[in-house]
Structure 1
């Protein structure tokens, strides 16, 4: 029986980064992964979808290049090559993770691991490993919504859709969350007919209402059919998707050649021995943890999607690094989830951190907002991407930044500035006094801070 100081079960972003940090901290570490290193994010989620979206955006930009004085004639796309490049990018990154594990002295086992005891893990190869610390990082899986007809050919989840080699002509997307909106953007950019069916009263419901409103308008203007406040009753052969409102007052159907079930994700906690060692899980199957990802079982930690705190790769990574330092006896601080950014890679891009305006107001604070429309941003105008806004939510009494919501080019990159300011407890005034380079989209952050005080010089006077 091989013994380690720590064993990480699951090689996604949280798991593989935790394993490396453990090794850097001087612990003999093993990483157990049954599939490709990099997990869902790298192989079946974040990275593959961004590769697809980038290809679709290039195609869309090329088609509109004549608006900028660049004539390139007829433009077409090769869907099979788009998929091939997506696979090549994922494989290269996965191989890179393997190199990093070896380079940092982590022992990798390509096998499925199951907890036999708190400190013993049995591999599908028959080998048994022993350790002092166990870090669970098995991630999540696409949710299987109980809809009649969900098993019909052509009805797929996000993983199966990524493996399709042919481009659909009309895709019906069940779910208007992040996954649904990103795939809707991808296919719409490739001139595919897209229909979104969402049970809630708006798409991207967790986002600020102003964000949801403008993205709904943008997607609708681009020809995407959006049905909100309705649920799918059944999918019939021929991929006829029947839907109706919750109260039954509205009903209809739509037919496509592909149906994507984008109804969220569930924890990957089944059949890995959690019940055997007594790890507590909630009713939804997520592992219950404290602020430092400790389970109720001493020596067993659970990081990333499987603990349900926030199903984001960077949260898993942050938790993994914190746990690795805690195990090594180094200072470790739990993540402040109010300072975790979320991004949607649609067009225009969306990024947010902290509270929405609606949630901030229910805290009882005296809440203010400042918004700057990108129609007044020179860089956005030069790119022809000036649809969107940057919005700050703050406490009027203390000037603490409570949240930020961005819609526009580079939003997913620029949100990191607000995260840093919030983490350092910067104020609206301090953010506004930081001189931003011109011409850049980042100036909209400074202008939104000025708008909080009603003195943005690049926006019309606020209405009284």
Structure 2
């Protein structure tokens, strides 16, 4: 906390006495009276409780002023927007994991920063992506544990799932983290403006919302507008029973049946979520396997697990149209091997990825170069565009669409703006997929290594041979480590199994620091943990695995 006054000072009800922090937010505390401060009973850094006497005044109690404003301002909608003009060293358009991290880093380095956001603080990751989906994943995991309780000698009665409470929990988590980001920006003296940001020229950003227009004169601009849900020109895609990855998280009734169009990361995560909730799920994927960007053994493993859970997967299939029958159900028509097929279902989720969002930025008039696909902004390794003082980070660059990549790009851009040379390195970018079980990978995969004729050795260890995995009741999957045959350095890994998204960090650190497989095997791993599977896979790369 911060104390504005001291004993002996006079104070009025409109003057703050303290600044306190709670739930990652800071608030000024005002006295309920006016007069001379006799005592202050707390000091900076103290924890205070509701109802605690923190100061004593010699004066009189003053009633709070009543709000005399009408509950609805009939003239507000007809008022001319208020106009203002401000200055900043750096203006960031977008407050997602790229934008807000860049803002904080710049502020730490001494810059005057303004963040512009047209929607909710935190961007797609916090509000419609990473965080809300993981909240649903956790609810699905808890429900599945209840269903399987008998396997652990436990039982439950009168259990069920309330999808509205699941969604409410998700919303609470999102709200709390959003408040946390607001607090961090405020703590670092970053100015936050709500509205649509438009680049007028290399030194001006115009922001407009309903009642205010702001012109920002700025030395630098960072574009961090992220991405939007991609769509396909499928007849019937506008049906009320067809959802995308954003709208599906706001459902108020659990579907009995769900067809997921797209077997990529987002599609497969939702397939497992709804399968755990008890929904009958089909996945229709255009490519010859789901998660086609991963090694084939990983893809095949998750397909087998999914089908064992009751998820029906159609690969090499193209959706032709979505119809609606007389009962309001959807009929998904698709072709596979030149044969027409159809699925009758309650709801449909279209999940075919995301595309960079540049709408309304005015990038072409500002002469900012786009990539060849004309959908994303071209940047160099410093995250700089062709305009020297304009940078772009995150999904809008058309690069790897991961929140942690956007954050790293934001730090790189901030460092370069402040005169500290920094280069974006994509060599070690771990990815995490929250299916059940989880999947994670980093570095060079086996298929890429073989394609480029690299001499490698592969170490593989199944979770079925890991003691901790057995106690968890989660023995599906394996750890696969790839090493350079000559240098013995670790160059990649893929993990499918319990705690995969946490275990991958050991491999990431190993690759980033040029560690050899022997350096991993000489490091004691605690027992019993799933991390021993990484240790055993490293041993397997040396043909000396102990427990398999």
TM-score normalised over the length of structure 2 = 0.82
CA distance in 1, matches of 2:297, 2:159: 35
Alignment counterpart, residue 195 of structure 2, candidates 111, 130, 137:
111
CA distance in 2, matches of 1:156, 1:386: 33
CA distance in 1, matches of 2:282, 2:374: 29
Are 2:197 and 2:360, in contact at CA under 8 Å, matched by a contact in 1?
no
CA distance in 2, matches of 1:413, 1:256: 36
Are 1:433 and 1:446, in contact at CA under 8 Å, matched by a contact in 2?
no
Partner of 2:111: 27
CA distance in 2, matches of 1:32, 1:260: 31
Partner of 1:97: 181
Partner of 2:433: 344
1:240 pairs with 2:347? no
Aligned pair in 2 of structure 1 residues 412, 284: CA closer, same or farther (>3 Å)?
Answer: farther
Partner of 1:62: 146
Q: Any idea what the Cα deviations from partners look like across 1:310-342, whole Å, max 9, x if unmatched?
A: 00000000110111111112242322x231001
1:141 pairs with 2:254? no
1:312 pairs with 2:402? yes
Partner of 1:121: 205
CA distance in 2, matches of 1:339, 1:87: 32
Q: Any idea what the Cα deviations from partners look like across 1:223-258, whole Å, max 9, x if unmatched?
A: 00100001101111231110013xx52220111111
Alignment counterpart, residue 328 of structure 1, candidates 411, 418, 435:
418
The alpha-carbon deviation at position 430 of structure 1 amounts to 1.1
Alignment counterpart, residue 403 of structure 1, candidates 492, 504, 524:
492
Are 1:120 and 1:129, in contact at CA under 8 Å, matched by a contact in 2?
yes
1:456 pairs with 2:541? no
CA distance in 2, matches of 1:32, 1:450: 51
Partner of 1:369: 458
The structure where helix makes up a greater share of residues is 1
* Aligned length, in residue pairs: 456
**Structure of larger gyration radius:** 2
Q: Any idea what the Cα deviations from partners look like across 1:163-193, whole Å, max 9, x if unmatched?
A: 1111111111000000000000100001100
Partner of 2:302: 215
1:157 pairs with 2:248? no
CA distance in 2, matches of 1:53, 1:383: 17
SS of structure 2 residue aligned to 1:339: coil
TM-score normalised over the length of structure 1 = 0.97
CA distance in 2, matches of 1:408, 1:345: 10
CA distance in 2, matches of 1:206, 1:284: 23
Partner of 1:432: 521
Partner of 1:181: 268
CA distance in 2, matches of 1:402, 1:165: 45
1:285 pairs with 2:375? yes
Partner of 2:386: 296
Are 2:261 and 2:351, in contact at CA under 8 Å, matched by a contact in 1?
yes
CA distance in 1, matches of 2:295, 2:491: 13
Partner of 1:274: 363
CA distance in 2, matches of 1:99, 1:430: 42
Partner of 2:257: 170
Higher relative contact order at CA 8 Å, sep ≥6: structure 1 or structure 2? 1
Are 1:360 and 1:402, in contact at CA under 8 Å, matched by a contact in 2?
no
The alpha-carbon deviation at position 354 of structure 1 amounts to 1.2
Which residues of structure 1 form unaligned runs of 5+? 460-464
CA distance in 2, matches of 1:426, 1:309: 27
